[in-house]
Amino acid sequence: MDTLAFIPSPSSGEISLGPIPLRGYAFCIIVGVFVAVWLGGKRWVARGGQPGTVADIAVWAVPFGLVGGRLYHVVTDYQLYFGEGRNWVDAVKIWEGGLGIWGAIALGAVGAWIGCRRRGIPLPAYADAIAPGIAIAQAIGRWGNWFNQELYGRPTDLPWAVKIDNGIDTGTFHPTFLYESLWCVGVALLVIWADRRFTLGHGRAFALYVAAYTVGRFWIEYLRIDEAHEFWGLRLNNWTSIVVFLGAVAAIVVSARRRPGREDVVEPRAEQDAEQEGKQEEERGGKQDAERNDEQETAAADSSDTDADADGGEGTGGEEPGTRAAEAAGPGDSAASGNGGERPASTKR
């Protein structure tokens, strides 16, 4: 099969960060988690929550999600780890690939519920905030399958086919990792748009993410050729997609009827801090008003004292000429004035 163009696969599944080798699969998972927490944090603050809350709860949700994703993969593909000639220790080697999104979301929700309960916030509101971030994290994480040359689709000669040479298959195949990555980006944009347009709340944004993802996962799963359990002509993940899709749609309908609109308060502590800040602002305003009043009263008092001093100076000025005349007369003049102008008796002979 001649292909005009194709996507080459990495020659190695590792990324060298200086002297530290890092599995490409693990690197994609780590980057995806950071992006999800960052975007979720921005959306949470925009809805009235506190900065750092999403990251604090992610400390619970992410480990639970990784364990849940790995458990789902191991349980549904147990023959890869517990069959004849297999080593069960490989079941814990998560860096080699193998995470089931269904288990990751399910058990991750348990971890998120624990974190939300500790913070006293509603889980549905938190789920709505992080829903687009989870979709973006999946879009990034799917490139880990490209590093591992796994989970590709049927053979094809399309220009965007991925070239595989992993010792099992050789040739060009449908890049289902790329299909799902692009689909998840579209899901994230859909949720962000719908959340703004319809003011989704009480878990409906998260349910929309789940429903939209399962639609894409159904047809992408149909293209894959990796070994999987089948029931009535469909792969296990196809049936899971159908069941989860119906559950998500039902959740949207029930939630919209019972609790329309969006939560007014998503984090009580943030609301209390806002009220406290408002009270402090009022107190500061009151103190400033009192200080201004004191300044005005002081200025008025100073003005009154100045006027009084001016009035006193004019009164003494009117008496000053007489006083000066008395002082100029002197003691002798005063005595003469007192004797009526007569000479002493001893001078009469």
- The Cα–Cα gap between 46 and 270 comes to 12
**Do 128 and 116 contact (CB within 8 A), yes or no?**
no
- The Cα–Cα gap between 161 and 21 comes to 28
What is the structure's pLDDT at 50? 94
Task: Please report which residue ranges of the chain form alpha helices under DSSP H.
Answer: 24-46, 53-76, 79-82, 101-119, 123-141, 143-148, 176-198, 204-223, 236-258, 268-338
- Listed as ranges, residues in the chain with pLDDT below 50 are 1, 274, 314-349
What is the structure's pLDDT at 281? 66
Instruction: Indicate the helix (H) or strand (E) that contains 22.
Output: strand 20-23
The total of other beta-carbon atoms located within 10 Å of residue 45's CB is 18
- The Cα–Cα gap between 105 and 65 comes to 6
- The Cα–Cα gap between 169 and 151 comes to 11
What is the structure's pLDDT at 59? 95
What is the structure's pLDDT at 19? 74
Q: What six digits make up the tokens of 14?
A: 């590792």
pLDDT, tens only, 140-161: 999 999 998 988 999 999 999 9
Strand-pairing partners, residue 171, are 164
What is the structure's pLDDT at 311? 55
What is the structure's pLDDT at 174? 95
Q: What six digits make up the tokens of 223?
A: 């293209």
- The Cα–Cα gap between 128 and 126 comes to 5
What is the structure's pLDDT at 325? 44
**Do 195 and 117 contact (CB within 8 A), yes or no?**
no
pLDDT cut 70: percent of the chain above it? 76
Instruction: Indicate the helix (H) or strand (E) that contains 6.
Output: strand 6-7
Look at the block and give the residue holding tokens 């989970």. 151
Round to the nearest angstrom and report the end-to-end CA distance of the chain. Answer: 172
The beta-carbon contacts of 25-30 under 8 Å, at least 24 apart in sequence, are 25/95, 25/96, 25/97, 25/144, 25/145, 25/147, 25/148, 26/94, 26/95, 26/144, 27/144, 27/147, 28/140, 28/141, 28/142, 28/143, 28/144, 28/147, 29/66, 29/99, 29/141, 29/144
pTM: 0.75
- The Cα–Cα gap between 74 and 295 comes to 77
- The Cα–Cα gap between 48 and 42 comes to 10
Name the DSSP letter for residue 83: S
> What's the CA angle centered on 165, arms 100 and 19, to 5 degrees?
75
What is the structure's pLDDT at 310? 53
